[in-house]
Structure 1
Amino acid sequence: MTLIPVAVSLLMAGSALAKVPAAEADKLGKELTCVGAEKAGTKDGVPEFTGKWLGTPPGVQYTQHVGQHPVDPYASEKPVLTITAENQAQYASKLSDGQKALFAKFPKTFRMEIYPGHRDFRYPDSVCEMAKKNALNAEVTNGGLTITGAVRGAIPFPIPKDGQEALMNNMFPFRAYNEDITRDIANVQSDGTISWGRGHNRNLDVINLPASVGKPLDGTMAYSRSLVLLPEREKGALSVSAEPVDFSKGKRLAWNYDPGTRRVRQLPEYGFDQPLGGTGGKMTIDSDRLFNGSPERYNWKLLGKREMYIPANAYKIHGKNVKYADLLKPGVPNPEFIRWELRRVWAVEGKLKEGFRHLYGKRVLFLDEDTGQAVMSDFYDARGTLWQYAFINYYYAFDLNAWHAGTSFYFDLNSGGYVGYNLFQERDKGPILNKGDMTPAMFTPESARSAGQ
């Protein structure tokens, strides 16, 4: 793994090293983008940041906030390179352990189509303003469970100095404040047979509400609500949850409505390595978006920055014309639909603390420097053996002028199966983003009880 080194003093878990000097924060919007990415490209092909588009690009026909499937502004482009099992050794420094494992396990079917790189989209000016404030004032405290001094409306650490700060960027990005989606889950077995799940999900990200921009980063982070539509035996089950900002003061709370008993009960614990429904044990609750929830069980270390091939500008895979039968193939999804580009990422390692339990003894997250959000992860078991690999197909959503997590894939490197998660290609509508029609009252135990009657 080739990494741009980070000073040893900045790698110590538990440190509070934010509040960067004003001279360093002044680089934001200059040689750095307003959220801390290097603007310059590289000799190997990382594109220069242009930021020429805010929202829908010229010539693209798109209606916001109605669930239109993403429209690809780069639809005419062709791959410039194909990485296969035969030539992957040439690009080893830009591949994760999980990607290399897929080449080894599926040498005939896994390939990576590399496209021209583009960094053409930018955030609204308000995000830039809040990111600058956070660079000067935010810090991680209480053993990595609390952020103090940060405001809402941007990542808290545009210039991360340790693993905890980088992780907090993944947990508190600028993203959709409303999401309403009916999505499919495909548990694909090694022989290609598929078990299906489907749910109607609503998410309210309180800290990104327009009226909250610039206010202190505290209180409730987000609410979610999930109604099971498939499989039939679980149809009608409904869960609601609430997520805190500060895990030193509270924990994720969740309630479940059981259509069989018509009762709502609070779950004693919801998160960590509990299996995520419909995934056949290939995903844990805290592996959604690659990591979520309390970071308390791991020591987090910033390994450094590196160039990697990651999914980027992932419009093609989310097109209305994409059929599951064409996408979901045995072993790996059809490579024709996945767009890889060369980017710079922050590599963050989480090692399980002594005395704590989790299925993953180690997890390595790769965060896109342009967003702070994790796009890929390698997962290791308690013995330190690589077990799973996952990636998210992010795209810039014109509804919110920011990046949105689309379809993701989670690979079990032992069984040869995988999960296609957050699929909406065959649904009439894609994600309905930032419509502004949700309130916290829609996510209470009482609302779950009423919805089930």
Structure 2
Amino acid sequence: MRAKTILVAVATSLSLLSISTQAAVTPDQASQLGKTLTPLGAERAGNASGTIPEWTGGLTKPPADYKGPGSHHVDPFPSDKPLFTITKANVEQYKNNLTPGLIALINANPETFNIPIYQTRRTGAAPQSVYDNTLKNATTATLVADGNGFEHAYGGTPFPIPQNGVEALWNHIARYRGTYVVRRYSAAAVQRGGAYSLSSTQQEALFNFYDPNTTAETLNNILLYYTDLTLSPARQAGGSVLVHETLNQVSEPRQAWSYNSGQRRVRRAPGVAYDTPTDVSDGLRTVDDTDMFNGAPDRYDWKLLGKKEIYIPYNNYKISSEMTKYKDLLQPEQLNPAYTRFELHRVWVVEGTLKAGARHIYAKRTLYLDEDSWQAALIDQYDGRGELWRVSVAYLKNYYELPTTWVAAEVNYDLQARRYFATQMDSEEPRAVDFSQPTPDISYFKPAALRRRGVR
């Protein structure tokens, strides 16, 4: 089957089939990976107008002046300037390439919110081992438990040629972000008038799904291990959270523990899931908003609506530059547009509608997944009245030392409260994300180790 035929099929009838009837794609379909499709399943060719270029391998090497693991990224495109800027005055001209959420943000702040559009650079890339495993997964991976998990896949995109919405969603959840990562970052809930207080956290994650010592048979239903340690403010310092993220969270729910440094006690935290508010977000982000979307997909019916060409945040190196100060980045009601970069890219559009009888504060979520990385770049979230409520924005960049595509910052905008929560910022941190640290033993991610790491 030709790649074009595959994409048309995905965008139409296949997205409506019952999840339980889906199987892995055929060898003929999978053979397009690395040919007419990129190794992760994107269209290799550019668009007809030339505004989206051909993918030629992405960005796989750091710039010459990059200082190495743990240092702040150097912008590989320092000479790039905006081609044009979308504002309230010209938003109608570009609305076909904007999400409802971006249009709403412009309308909410017509004097200050704008979207600077740059040359599209398809920098998305991953290691060869991820490409090799993705090719294997294409013909072996299958959904289980009505889409609440999958099996016979590891170490790569599980469904590079998705047949329905939940497969595309799993591609985001299980996307490549290295094997072991240590990152220190700051977060802030910015109030309507612009006031905010920073919190600082050290985060560590072991992506079991990408551990070279793991196979599809030895995953043991563990997608990743995660822990974080609160560094500031002082009243919360030393508190920490530990998560064992299961792949099928319906048959085996996520396991989570918390450590309170004041009480010096480790406790189970069964509420770390779904629409529980996260601690430092001042109620602006749910647990499953974290990382744009995470956790079990079981409360929504997911549809694959096809592909669109959308302006999404991409190659946002200025946000995480060590020259950028949080006070300049965090403005009232919005991240400072002068530090952001948007480009025209193709995205998969996935819509989740809350199932009858299921509970969640969002009645509908529309995800826009970057075709070159499967990272969710934008999400529109609707309330029970069907009104657009919150807009999640992932300001993406290429972590060329791996390489992979991840966030320079992640922001949850609340259109009704006129407030926002920004996280994963590291421009003022002493060290940036580090993928080079030795992978710890699994015992490091056991509850007994949680208290030992907590300090006051």
Q: Check if 1:29 corresponds to 2:34.
A: yes
Change (3 A) 1:51 1:213: farther
Q: Check if 1:128 corresponds to 2:134.
A: no
Task: Check the 8 A contact 2:148/2:250 in 1, yes or no.
Answer: yes
Task: Check the 8 A contact 1:13/1:164 in 2, yes or no.
Answer: no
- SS of the equivalent of 1:316 reads coil
Change (3 A) 1:259 1:395: same
Q: In the TM superposition, what is the alpha-carbon distance from 1:256 to its structure 2 partner?
A: 1.2
Alignment map for 1:67-146 (pairs within 5 Å): 67-146=70-149
Once residues 121 and 329 of structure 2 are traced to their aligned partners in structure 1, the CA distance between those partners, rounded to angstroms, is: 24
Q: Check if 1:404 corresponds to 2:406.
A: yes
**Which residue identity does 1:62 align to in structure 2?**
Y
**Which residue identity does 1:262 align to in structure 2?**
R
Q: In the TM superposition, what is the alpha-carbon distance from 1:299 to its structure 2 partner?
A: 0.9
Moved segments of 4+, more than 4 Å? 213-218
Q: In the TM superposition, what is the alpha-carbon distance from 1:452 to its structure 2 partner?
A: 3.4
Paired residue for 1:62? Answer: 66
Q: In the TM superposition, what is the alpha-carbon distance from 1:134 to its structure 2 partner?
A: 1.0
1:317-372: CA deviations, max 9, x gaps? 11110011111111111111111000000010111111111111111111000011
Once residues 384 and 52 of structure 1 are traced to their aligned partners in structure 2, the CA distance between those partners, rounded to angstroms, is: 39
**Which residue identity does 1:103 align to in structure 2?**
I
Structure 1, 196-205 or 340-349: larger mean CA deviation: 196-205
Once residues 127 and 119 of structure 2 are traced to their aligned partners in structure 1, the CA distance between those partners, rounded to angstroms, is: 25
1:178-234: CA deviations, max 9, x gaps? 121221111111111112222121111111123336766553111111112223322
**Which residue identity does 1:47 align to in structure 2?**
P
Paired residue for 1:311? Answer: 313
Tell me the TM-score normalized by structure 2.
0.94
Tell me the TM-score normalized by structure 1.
0.94
Paired residue for 2:4? Answer: none
Paired residue for 2:25? Answer: 20
Q: In the TM superposition, what is the alpha-carbon distance from 1:421 to its structure 2 partner?
A: 0.8
Task: Check the 8 A contact 2:179/2:210 in 1, yes or no.
Answer: yes
**Which residue identity does 2:52 align to in structure 1?**
V
Task: Check the 8 A contact 2:125/2:373 in 1, yes or no.
Answer: no
- SS of the equivalent of 1:29 reads coil
Structure 1, 229-238 or 310-319: larger mean CA deviation: 229-238
**Which residue identity does 2:139 align to in structure 1?**
L
Paired residue for 1:46? Answer: 52
Once residues 300 and 13 of structure 1 are traced to their aligned partners in structure 2, the CA distance between those partners, rounded to angstroms, is: 11
**Which residue identity does 1:232 align to in structure 2?**
A
Task: Check the 8 A contact 1:304/1:347 in 2, yes or no.
Answer: yes
Once residues 406 and 213 of structure 2 are traced to their aligned partners in structure 1, the CA distance between those partners, rounded to angstroms, is: 20
**Which residue identity does 1:417 align to in structure 2?**
R
Paired residue for 1:171? Answer: 173
Given candidates 393, 407, 419, the residue that maps to 2:421 is 419
Once residues 104 and 13 of structure 1 are traced to their aligned partners in structure 2, the CA distance between those partners, rounded to angstroms, is: 38
**Which residue identity does 1:381 align to in structure 2?**
D
Task: Check the 8 A contact 2:148/2:296 in 1, yes or no.
Answer: yes
Q: Check if 1:250 corresponds to 2:252.
A: yes
Given candidates 10, 20, 42, the residue that maps to 2:15 is 10
Task: Check the 8 A contact 2:313/2:395 in 1, yes or no.
Answer: yes
Change (3 A) 1:439 1:60: same
**Which residue identity does 1:231 align to in structure 2?**
P
In the alignment of these two chains, the number of paired residues is: 447
Change (3 A) 1:407 1:120: closer
Task: Check the 8 A contact 2:124/2:372 in 1, yes or no.
Answer: no
Identity %: 37
Once residues 440 and 216 of structure 1 are traced to their aligned partners in structure 2, the CA distance between those partners, rounded to angstroms, is: 14
**Which residue identity does 2:32 align to in structure 1?**
K
Q: In the TM superposition, what is the alpha-carbon distance from 1:401 to its structure 2 partner?
A: 1.5
Task: Check the 8 A contact 2:390/2:412 in 1, yes or no.
Answer: yes
Once residues 370 and 175 of structure 1 are traced to their aligned partners in structure 2, the CA distance between those partners, rounded to angstroms, is: 14
